[in-house]
């Protein structure tokens, strides 16, 4: 009796400790993203090869990125963004970013594995998510700022938005370079190849989808026919 | 992990299946929303380019045709292919082209009566008019006729005595092999005549009042798209190039002289692609040297309909066959494609659009010309051989009054009128803008902002917001200072306290060390 109790409590303790350790690692990996933003070459190398980044942190950044997009459309002052809010579907908006992001990651992984890229899929995914951090860091405050400035002061706003995008793209580029251990030229070539790969993936998905929809349509019409015959 | 993978794959498959099923089940009936134009209702375009139905701005008051004019009893000749209208004061002139005459009609706002039929000019070698396409009358009552069949623009005084005529320019810029075929004319206060002639694509032919030719104004720019240029320049043989048509500027469709002496011109030859990006410029306002100075301050340029469906009875975009400018700089363009009238204010904001094709009163089979007398509109139908008189409804009058009072500088009264407009049409962004502007003048910035937001007017919103922000900062300046102070001073104070503590500890330690040492 007492033994099981003892074991149980130690199990609980172990679990609590594990959770604590995980939380610490998670926090550290979140904070590490700031280092990646400012020291991309060093940062991305350690992120992947020294395991400084975590999947959880990467997921967090991706989620925040999608949320930033949706909140930006919903909350930015109408002086700067004109969105037909009555037609806005936030899941559609988030999905229209998430899907290309994932497809590009998959395409990049698929292409680089064939040409001695060092990165695993998980590495590419984590690196790309960390590259989104400047976008997140700048876009959220800019939503607030947009509500405090007037139309004439809009250039200020646009410049910051531009910076956030350029910074993120630069980080993604460096990230791919470090993850695969490529040179800049080879990375550039593989960016183009990645886009081609993404097109192929989309094409296959569309073919699959339309075939599936045709197949289901057949059964649907079959069902309808029977219903009409019966009644 | 394996389990998770399987669950994930299953989920993705299920999603795909559901989406596919949803598509298979979806009702694919055609949406009518795109072409709200099969109705004759008055409408307007909102900020999103969606059609918003509105109350009628105009209603049919009278229809003038051969029967109501009594032409049958007079000489049995009913109107035939009338081409154009002109209004001077209370006189309406109709160019009855195929009958070689011009009808002058008096209209006193209620009733109309035939004044005279102009078919011959006194004291002229060639007295009979032949296919008059257009008329213009100056302030003194002198009548100018575009005498198409006689290759001249002829001027006569108000008693029909011949004064002078404007004929084919002998200038080398005019191809002498071509006939001079005047289709549309306009006359300015100084007696200068502007002629739109057939087969002349270098703009309007301009004559001084002494009948001397002084050149062309407002030639259309040659429109070449990059790809066809590259194709022609680099990939075609010389023979092919010679055989294919060359890039030439296009002819105008019509012109109108406004009260300030600027020419409003309409143009119907353009590509649809150019239209929405404001490269086609179907409506232009030309200054003395032929530059387009039309004001376009709205989100979309004045191009008439912004959506159209191919394959119905009316194809393609709006084609403005005529234009008229009211006293308050509101211009109304007549679309021959769908028989619609589009009203725009001086800033290029669409006020309303109405009209349709058909045979009932207020509908046209071949709308050809538009004129105005006060706020009343006259529209000539070439095939129906009739002139339809439209008069503004209460709603239409209200819009005009609100714009007029604003232009006169009576902003508060204008806002009250706009509020009345808003009661009748809550989708009218011009009304929101008008009220907002009046509110800014009354220093009610917050309310003004909400009106500008509803009107989707970022410029005015920005102005109101700037003033509101200034007011807010001035009101809350003490709070701002307090919060700033708190943010700056509190961390400083905390640092100070920490340092003091540390100093005390150091002091104690030193004491201990000293004692031990």
Chain A partners within 8 Å of B462 (Cβ): 79, 150-153
Domain presence at residue A23: no
Domain presence at residue B2: no
Q: Which of A71-80, B3-12, B356-365 has the lowest mean pLDDT?
A: B3-12
Answer yes or no: do B381 and B420 share one domain: no
Tens-digit pLDDT profile for residues B10-39: 777 676 666 666 555 554 333 333 333 344
Q: Give the whole-number percent of chain B exceeding pLDDT 90.
A: 51
Phi, psi of B122 (to 5 degrees): -80, 140
Q: Give the whole-number percent of chain A exceeding pLDDT 90.
A: 77
Q: How far is B448 from chain A (nearest CA, A)?
A: 14
Q: How far apart are CA A174 and CA A37, in angstroms?
A: 11
CB atoms A209 and B16 under 8 Å: yes
Answer yes or no: do B500 and B453 share one domain: no
Q: What is the mean pLDDT of residues B94-104?
A: 93
B106–A contact, CB cutoff 8 A: no
Is the pLDDT reported for residue A139 higher than 90?
Answer: yes
Domain end: B383, B399, B415, which one?
Answer: B399
Q: What is the mean pLDDT of residues B311-325?
A: 85
Residue pair B430/B443 in contact by the 8 Å Cβ criterion: no
B22–A contact, CB cutoff 8 A: no
Residue pair B359/B405 in contact by the 8 Å Cβ criterion: no
Q: Facing residues of B284 across strands?
A: B265
Domain end: B365, B399, B433, which one?
Answer: B399
CB atoms A212 and B459 under 8 Å: no
Domain presence at residue A78: yes
Domain presence at residue A7: no
DSSP string, B148-214: GGGTEEEEE-TT-BEEEEE----STTS-TTS---EEEEEE-TT--EEEEETT--S-EEEE-TTS-EE
B50, B56, B62, B63 alpha-carbon torsion, rounded to 10°: 20
A158–B contact, CB cutoff 8 A: no
Name residues whose C-beta falls within 8 Å of residue A88's C-beta, 6 or more positions apart in sequence. Answer: A73, A74
Q: How far apart are CA B127 and CA B101, in angstroms?
A: 12
| Percent of chain B that is helix, strand, coil (3-state, to 5) | 35, 25, 40
What's residue A81's pLDDT? 87
Answer yes or no: do B427 and B332 share one domain: no
B473–A contact, CB cutoff 8 A: no
Q: How confident is the model at residue B238 (pLDDT cuts 50, 70, 90)?
A: confident
Chain B partners within 8 Å of A215 (Cβ): 20
Answer yes or no: do B216 and B74 share one domain: yes
Note down the domain range covering A109: 55-230
Residue pair B84/B72 in contact by the 8 Å Cβ criterion: no
B478–A contact, CB cutoff 8 A: no
CB atoms B453 and A148 under 8 Å: no
Most A CBs within 10 Å, among B5, B21, B50, to test the A interface = B21
Domain count, chain A: 1
Strands, sheet with B376-381, edge to edge from the N-terminal-most edge strand: B58-65, B386-392, B376-381, B367-373
Residues in chain A: 231
Give, in order, the Cα–Cα distances in Å from B278 to each of B48, B135, B254, B296, B400.
17, 31, 19, 10, 27
Q: Give the whole-number percent of chain B exceeding pLDDT 70.
A: 90
Tens-digit pLDDT profile for residues B37-70: 344 478 888 888 888 888 899 999 989 988 888 8
Q: How far apart are CA B504 and CA B19, in angstroms?
A: 71
What's residue A221's pLDDT? 94
Residue pair B325/B258 in contact by the 8 Å Cβ criterion: yes
Domain presence at residue A88: yes
A155–B contact, CB cutoff 8 A: no
Domain presence at residue A74: yes
Average pLDDT, chain A: 91
Q: How confident is the model at residue B491 (pLDDT cuts 50, 70, 90)?
A: confident
CB atoms B17 and A208 under 8 Å: no
Strands, sheet with B320-325, edge to edge from the N-terminal-most edge strand: B51-53, B43-45, B350-354, B340-344, B331-335, B320-325
What's residue B187's pLDDT? 94
Q: Facing residues of B264 across strands?
A: B256, B285
* DSSP code for B233: I
Answer yes or no: do B155 and B214 share one domain: yes
CB atoms A78 and B466 under 8 Å: no
Q: How far apart are CA B464 and CA B432, in angstroms?
A: 14
Structure-token match 């649907």, residue found: A220
Q: How far is A102 from chain B (nearest CA, A)?
A: 14
* DSSP code for B359: S
Answer yes or no: do B302 and B413 share one domain: no
Residue pair B451/B433 in contact by the 8 Å Cβ criterion: yes
Q: Facing residues of B106 across strands?
A: B91, B113
CB atoms A78 and B23 under 8 Å: no
What's residue B311's pLDDT? 60
Tens-digit pLDDT profile for residues B450-481: 999 999 888 899 999 999 999 999 999 999 99
CB atoms A150 and B453 under 8 Å: no
- Identify which has the larger pLDDT, B348 or B247: B348
What's residue A5's pLDDT? 53
Tens-digit pLDDT profile for residues B182-233: 999 999 999 999 999 988 888 899 999 999 999 898 887 766 677 877 887 7
Identify the closest residue of chain B to A79 by CA–CA distance. Answer: B458
DSSP string, B80-127: -S--EEEEETTEEEEEEGGGTEEEEEEE-SS-EEEEEEE-B-BT-SS-
Tens-digit pLDDT profile for residues B152-175: 999 999 999 999 999 999 888 888
CB atoms A79 and B466 under 8 Å: no
Tens-digit pLDDT profile for residues A70-105: 999 999 988 898 888 778 888 999 999 999 999 999
Chain B partners within 8 Å of A208 (Cβ): 16
- Identify which has the larger pLDDT, B514 or A125: A125
Domain count, chain B: 3
What's residue B234's pLDDT? 81
Q: What is the mean pLDDT of residues B374-402?
A: 93
Answer yes or no: do B347 and B466 share one domain: no
Answer yes or no: do B413 and B309 share one domain: no
- Identify which has the larger pLDDT, B238 or A27: A27
Q: Return residues 40-59 of B near A (CB < 8 Å).
A: 47-48
Chain B partners within 8 Å of A106 (Cβ): none
Q: Which of A161-165, A204-208, B13-17, B49-53 has the lowest mean pLDDT?
A: B13-17
Is the pLDDT reported for residue B109 higher than 60?
Answer: yes
Q: Give the whole-number percent of chain A exceeding pLDDT 70.
A: 96
CB atoms B458 and A79 under 8 Å: yes
A227–B contact, CB cutoff 8 A: no
A79–B contact, CB cutoff 8 A: yes
Strands, sheet with B193-197, edge to edge from the N-terminal-most edge strand: B182-187, B193-197, B204-207, B213-217
CA B270 to chain centre: 16
Answer yes or no: do B450 and B328 share one domain: no
Answer yes or no: do B76 and B183 share one domain: yes
Answer yes or no: do B427 and B371 share one domain: no
Chain B partners within 8 Å of A153 (Cβ): 462
Name residues whose C-beta falls within 8 Å of residue B366's C-beta, 6 or more positions apart in sequence. Answer: B336, B381, B382, B383, B384
Give, rounded to a whole angstrom, the gap between the first and last alpha carbons of chain B. 65
Phi, psi of A181 (to 5 degrees): 60, 45
Across the interface, which of A78, A82, A213 has its CB nearest the CB of B20?
A213
What's residue B29's pLDDT? 36
User: How many pairs of residues across A and B have Cβ atoms under 8 Å apart?
Assistant: 46
Is the pLDDT reported for residue B3 higher than 70?
Answer: no
* DSSP code for B222: P
Note down the domain range covering B145: 43-399
Answer yes or no: do B386 and B460 share one domain: no
Structure-token match 């000019």, residue found: B121
Domain presence at residue B101: yes
Residue pair B96/B129 in contact by the 8 Å Cβ criterion: no
Q: Return residues 95-124 of A near B (CB < 8 Å).
A: none
Average pLDDT, chain B: 86
Domain presence at residue A34: no
CB atoms B465 and A78 under 8 Å: no
Q: Facing residues of B51 across strands?
A: B45
Closest CA to B143 of B183, B94, B100, B180: B94
Domain presence at residue B454: yes
Chain B partners within 8 Å of A84 (Cβ): 48
CB atoms A209 and B20 under 8 Å: yes
Strands, sheet with B152-156, edge to edge from the N-terminal-most edge strand: B132-137, B143-147, B152-156, B162-166
């Amino acid at each position: 009796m007492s033994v099981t109790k003892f074991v149980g409590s130690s199990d609980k303790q172990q679990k609590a400790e594990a959770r604590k350790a995980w939380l610490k690692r998670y926090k550290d990996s979140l904070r590490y993203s700031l280092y990646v933003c400012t020291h991309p070459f060093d940062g991305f190398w350690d992120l992947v090869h020294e395991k400084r980044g975590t999947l959880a942190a990467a997921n967090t950044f991706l989620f925040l990125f999608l949320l930033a997009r949706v909140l930006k459309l919903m909350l930015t002052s109408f002086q700067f963004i004109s969105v037909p809010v009555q037609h806005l579907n936030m899941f559609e908006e988030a999905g229209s970013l998430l899907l290309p992001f994932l497809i590009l990651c998959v395409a990049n992984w698929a292409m680089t594995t064939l040409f001695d890229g060092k990165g695993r899929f998980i590495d590419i995914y984590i690196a790309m998510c960390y590259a989104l951090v400047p976008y997140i860091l700048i876009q959220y405050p800019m939503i607030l700022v947009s509500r405090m400035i007037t139309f004439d002061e809009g250039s200020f706003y646009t410049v910051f938005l531009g910076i956030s995008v350029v910074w993120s793209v630069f980080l993604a580029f460096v990230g791919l370079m470090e993850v695969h251990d490529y040179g800049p030229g080879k990375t550039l070539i593989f960016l183009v190849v990645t886009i081609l790969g993404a097109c192929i993936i989309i094409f296959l998905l569309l073919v699959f989808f339309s075939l599936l929809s045709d197949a289901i349509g057949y059964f649907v019409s079959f069902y309808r026919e029977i219903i009409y015959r019966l009644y | 992990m394996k389990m998770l993978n399987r669950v994930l794959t299953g989920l993705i498959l299920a999603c795909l299946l559901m989406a596919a099923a949803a598509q298979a089940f979806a009702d694919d009936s055609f949406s009518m929303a795109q072409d709200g134009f099969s109705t004759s209702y008055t409408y307007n375009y909102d900020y999103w380019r969606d059609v918003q139905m509105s109350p009628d701005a105009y209603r049919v008051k009278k229809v003038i045709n051969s029967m109501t004019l009594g032409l049958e009893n007079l000489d049995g000749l009913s109107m035939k292919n009338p081409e154009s209208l002109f209004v001077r004061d209370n006189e309406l002139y109709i160019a009855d082209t195929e009958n070689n005459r011009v009808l002058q009609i008096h209209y006193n706002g209620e009733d109309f009566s035939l004044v005279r039929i102009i078919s011959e000019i006194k004291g002229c070698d060639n007295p009979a008019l032949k296919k008059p396409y257009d008329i213009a009358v100056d302030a003194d009552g002198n009548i100018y006729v575009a005498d198409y069949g006689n290759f001249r623009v002829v001027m006569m005084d108000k008693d029909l005595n011949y004064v002078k005529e404007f004929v084919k320019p002998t200038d080398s810029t005019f191809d002498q092999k071509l006939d001079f075929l005047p289709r549309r004319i306009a006359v300015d206060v100084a007696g200068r005549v502007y002629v739109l002639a057939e087969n002349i694509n270098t703009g309007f032919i301009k004559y001084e009042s002494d009948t001397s030719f002084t050149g062309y104004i407002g030639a259309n720019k040659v429109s070449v798209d990059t790809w066809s240029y590259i194709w022609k320049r680099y990939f075609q043989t010389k023979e092919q190039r010679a055989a294919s048509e060359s890039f030439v500027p296009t002819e105008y469709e019509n012109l109108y002289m406004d009260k300030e002496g600027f020419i409003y011109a309409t143009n119907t030859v353009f590509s649809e692609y150019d239209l929405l990006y404001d490269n086609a410029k179907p409506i232009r306002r030309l200054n003395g040297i032929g530059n387009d100075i039309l004001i376009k301050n709205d989100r979309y340029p004045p191009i008439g309909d912004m959506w159209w469906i191919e394959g119905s009875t009316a194809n393609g975009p709006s084609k403005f066959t005529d234009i008229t400018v009211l006293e308050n700089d509101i211009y109304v363009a007549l679309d021959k494609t769908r028989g619609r009238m589009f009203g725009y204010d001086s800033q290029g904001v669409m006020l309303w659009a109405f009209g349709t094709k058909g045979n009932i009163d207020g509908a046209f089979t071949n709308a050809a010309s538009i004129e105005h007398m006060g706020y009343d509109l006259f529209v000539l139908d070439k095939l129906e051989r009739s002139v339809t008189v439209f008069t503004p409804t209460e709603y239409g009058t209200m819009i005009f009054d609100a714009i007029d009072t604003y232009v006169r500088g009576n902003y508060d009264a204008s806002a009250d009128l706009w509020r009345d407009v808003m009661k009748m049409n809550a989708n009218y962004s011009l009304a929101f803008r008008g009220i907002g502007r009046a509110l800014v003048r009354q220093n009610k910035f917050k309310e003004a902002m909400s009106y500008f937001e509803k009107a989707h007017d970022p410029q005015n919103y920005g102005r109101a917001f700037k003033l509101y922000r200034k007011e807010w900062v001035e009101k809350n300046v003490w709070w701002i200072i307090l919060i700033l102070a708190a943010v700056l001073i509190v961390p400083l104070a905390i640092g100070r306290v920490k340092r003091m503590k540390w100093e005390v500890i150091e002091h104690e330690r030193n004491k201990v060390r000293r004692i031990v040492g």
